[in-house]
Amino acid sequence: MNTLLTILFITAFLSCNAIVFASGDPPNIVFILADDLGIGDVNCYGGDRCLIDTPNIDSLAAGGVRFTDAHVNASVCAPTRRAIMTGRYPWRFSPAVNNGPWGFVGPRPGTEDSTLATVLNKAGYRTGYVGKWHLGTTMETLDGKAQGLTNVDFTRPLKHGPVQFGFDESFILPGSLDMYPYAFAHNNIWQGEVTAQKGWSAFNRVGPAEKDFEDHKVLETFYTQAEKFIRLQNAEEPFFLFLALTAPHTPTSPGVKWRGKSNLGVYGDFVMEVDHSVERVMLALQEKGLHENTLVLFSSDHGAASYAGNILKATPGQIQLLEAKGHYPSGPHRGYKFSVYEGGLRVPLIARWPGKIPQATTCDAMVGLNDLMATFAELTNTELEDHEAPDSISFAKQLANPKSVGTRRNLIMQSVMSFVVRDGNWKLCLCPGAGTPARRQGTQDNSQGNVPTPEDAWKRALSQFPKVPNEGDLVKAPFVQLFDLAKDPHEDHNVAAEHPDQVSVMVALLRRQVERGRSTPGPELKNDRNVKLVNANDKRLPAFVRERLDVK
């Protein structure tokens, strides 16, 4: 075959796959999101460095495509979920309102304006949300003040929750499994009697709880609710289900039937129950005869928490005890939850759609979970308005042809406090360390097992700088880290000093996307808040750093 014929054949092949997606019935969509699951916790990613059996997640990958360069937009829960739900970078939103502690977190204004649910509702989908919410709620209070530990009226429905985000059906826990209130809400209505005070093993945060609520029953409750939703669907009306699991996030509390299943210990037991959740969803789809035209995706909201493991009390750095046994939750990557490193930001992403996605394939294209909205819109022939999904790029092409060249060229991410920029294989971290908060006086190390600690990283950077730094200096070496992930996947060699031009290019890329209010083509938009590339007045920086900086 000559070159011209080869090109024509490839073009025809790509076009045919695009036509298949466009001309067939729109798929049902199920998106399963684990909580604090590291990429190395899944066997089909971790390989010999994974000591947990995950046969159902592995089977999902064997029946579809496994992405190798998929990322969340933040290495912490809530910002990731905002980006997934809206297709908009999470730092563009203004602070939460009616805000309370932990699961009493209030909503961010505007997050409900355009969501996965509202977009798919336009396409005629029945939409459901089951699981951890953590996108903010507004609760009725007894005193008219911001919701908190003592003033919520649990006899009255939520004023703001999944219903306002466009979901036809919802069954949620407001926050994470270790965040009070420990109670479910079905379609914004609290379930049971929230009259108890409870807390769980990890952090023992004691707060309002439904009288019969038990931490080890929550995961099963959620995949049972997911089954109920699927059983109510039919082949005539497409549906979307967002199943947000609460595991293996602390408290590490597998169901009674799963205790002792893993040779690794209770952490492995909990991951195995996550894997079972996938099995239950797939069986429910098969029982209804819906599995052939359902796109099922599985991922995690960020990397594993280094304080989680087989010690039930949250213990900084205990994840290293699992690594000593030969299990590496971050896989071949550096770092954990909260950090700028790949172990906190690179996640599993698996997609299965029989007859549409080639089986047992891998895709090396860069994608972000913020790309789900544009992808779902393309698959359902739904036109997005100019303001919708301003940071979302469809990867529908990669589903049909996993080896095709990806559309996304750059991606903005963040640790718990620092920006991260990907530009091809280059990765820039706008901080000298892991991007985690400094240790507060009288508390444990806030770096949560990520090294170097903020204190060590900033001391070294300041010692290498000959004068008092200003804010402009903080986006250059030695205050930033630049890695070439193609040559240095473990991020061991900071080459920012050797490549100042590349650093400047990536800082300019970030600044441009901040200023335009979007990263995709289209009319400029406004961010809901003032965004600084580096906040030199951030009180989470070590005190000696803020004292040394030349800022007002």
Predicted confidence at residue 439, as pLDDT, reads: 77
**Residue 166 pLDDT exceeds 50:** yes
Average pLDDT rounded to a whole number, residues 59-84: 98
C-alpha to C-alpha distance for 150 and 186, rounded to whole angstroms? 22
Query: How many other β-carbons are positioned within 10 Å of the β-carbon of residue 546?
Result: 15
First to last CA, the chain: 67
**Residue 152 pLDDT exceeds 90:** yes
Residue 463 binned pLDDT confidence (cut-offs 50, 70, 90):
very high
Average pLDDT rounded to a whole number, residues 453-474: 94
Predicted confidence at residue 549, as pLDDT, reads: 86
The 8-class DSSP code of residue 396 comes to H
C-alpha to C-alpha distance for 513 and 410, rounded to whole angstroms? 11
Structure-token pair, residue 368: 């972000």
**Residue 326 pLDDT exceeds 50:** yes
Predicted confidence at residue 448, as pLDDT, reads: 76
**Residue 22 pLDDT exceeds 90:** no
C-alpha to C-alpha distance for 147 and 97, rounded to whole angstroms? 10
**Residue 9 pLDDT exceeds 50:** no
Which tens digit of pLDDT belongs to each residue from 339-371?
999 999 999 999 999 999 999 999 999 999 999
Residue in 67, 46, 43, 38 with CA at minimum distance from that of residue 56: 43
C-alpha to C-alpha distance for 66 and 303, rounded to whole angstroms? 17
Average pLDDT rounded to a whole number, residues 291-299: 98
Q: Hey, which residues does 484 pair with through a beta bridge? A: 426
Specify the length of the chain in residues: 552
Q: Catalytic site residues?
A: 77, 134
Residue in 92, 32, 171, 193 with CA at minimum distance from that of residue 524: 92
**Residue 10 pLDDT exceeds 60:** no
Which residues does 396 contact at the CB level (< 8 Å), separation at least 6?
A: 21, 375, 378, 379
> Check: CATH 3.90.1150.10 for 29-408?
no
Q: Range(s) for CATH 3.40.720.10 in the chain?
A: 29-408
Residue 420 binned pLDDT confidence (cut-offs 50, 70, 90):
very high
Predicted confidence at residue 449, as pLDDT, reads: 84
Phi, psi of 215 (to 5 degrees): -60, -35
Query: How many other β-carbons are positioned within 10 Å of the β-carbon of residue 62?
Result: 15
Which tens digit of pLDDT belongs to each residue from 95-151?
999 999 999 999 999 999 999 999 999 999 999 999 999 999 999 999 999 999 999
Average pLDDT rounded to a whole number, residues 79-104: 97
Predicted confidence at residue 7, as pLDDT, reads: 35
**Residue 441 pLDDT exceeds 90:** no
Which tens digit of pLDDT belongs to each residue from 370-403?
999 999 999 999 999 999 999 999 999 999 999 9
More confident residue, 2 or 220: 220
C-alpha to C-alpha distance for 384 and 405, rounded to whole angstroms? 23
Average pLDDT rounded to a whole number, residues 444-456: 81
When mean pLDDT is compared across 169-178, 253-262, 445-454, 535-544, the lowest value belongs to 445-454
* Rounded (5°) CA angle 522-527-530: 145
C-alpha to C-alpha distance for 41 and 44, rounded to whole angstroms? 9
Predicted confidence at residue 90, as pLDDT, reads: 98
Predicted confidence at residue 25, as pLDDT, reads: 85
C-alpha to C-alpha distance for 43 and 451, rounded to whole angstroms? 26
- Report percent pLDDT > 70 for the chain: 94
| Cβ-contact 84, 369 below 8 angstroms | yes
Burial of 195 from C-beta contacts in 10 A (0-12 / 13-18 / 19+)? exposed
Predicted confidence at residue 16, as pLDDT, reads: 41
Predicted confidence at residue 445, as pLDDT, reads: 57
Average pLDDT rounded to a whole number, residues 285-298: 97
Rg (CA), the chain: 23
Which tens digit of pLDDT belongs to each residue from 210-240?
999 999 999 999 999 999 999 999 999 999 9
Burial of 349 from C-beta contacts in 10 A (0-12 / 13-18 / 19+)? buried
Q: Which amino acid belongs to residue 222? A: F
C-alpha to C-alpha distance for 95 and 340, rounded to whole angstroms? 22
